Amino acid sequence: MDRRSVLMMGLAGAAGASGVLVAPRGVHAAGKPEALSSPMAGGLYYTKQKPGRWAKKAGGHVPRVELEGGKVRVLTPHPMNGFKHYIVKHVILDEKFQYISETLFDPATDKPKSEYDAGRLNGDVYAVSMCNLHDLWLSAIRV
């Protein structure tokens, strides 16, 4: 079974056990995508608002997402310390947490920076930054 299937099974199990809907509904009353304040934020994945056990690590791990010139650009301000501590990849998800694209990084040569075509994206878009030591970090942008 691949990692994506395991993650989705875990999300489904967590939703069933807690009675919480996993997929976000767009934007809630506070004007932020629900995934950033979901009960799973700070546990399954981390956000600027809910850094969980990695509160002191948020500054270098939260992906910065911007929309410019029809492109979604993602930058994680994290040093690439060879294979000891690095950003493994960025993943782009739509507002229903459906996979759109990803960029894998070579910790020996790459910077954790990626770019995606925004032409086929609509609504909230999530950027996931995966650190080999400090788990998954999520940010969002409205396209």
Which CATH number do you get for residue 112?
2.60.40.730
Tell me if 8 is assigned to some domain.
Answer: no
Task: Kindly report the pTM of this predicted structure.
Answer: 0.75
Tell me if 90 is assigned to some domain.
Answer: yes
Report how many domains make up the chain.
1
Q: Residues 24-45: pLDDT tens digits?
A: 333 333 456 878 888 788 888 9
Tell me if 128 is assigned to some domain.
Answer: yes
Task: Report the pLDDT value the prediction gives residue 43, as an integer from 0 to 100.
Answer: 84
Tell me if 132 is assigned to some domain.
Answer: yes
Tell me if 9 is assigned to some domain.
Answer: no
**What is the Cα–Cα distance from 48 to 67, expressed in whole angstroms?**
19
Average pLDDT, the chain: 83
- Structural domain boundaries enclosing 111: 24-142
Phi and psi of 8, rounded to 5°?
A: -65, -35
Count the neighbouring beta carbons within 10 Å of the beta carbon of residue 6.
10
Calculate the alpha carbon distances from 12 to 5, 23, 141 in Å. Answer: 10, 10, 24
Q: How far is C-alpha 89 from the geometric centre of its chain's CA atoms?
A: 10
The edge-to-edge listing of strands for the beta sheet with 87-93 is: 99-104, 87-93, 124-131, 135-142
Tell me if 81 is assigned to some domain.
Answer: yes
Tell me if 91 is assigned to some domain.
Answer: yes
Q: Residues 77-104: pLDDT tens digits?
A: 999 999 999 999 999 999 999 999 999 9
**What is the Cα–Cα distance from 4 to 1, expressed in whole angstroms?**
8
Tell me if 85 is assigned to some domain.
Answer: yes
Which residues does residue 27 pair with via DSSP β-bridges, in sequence order? 33
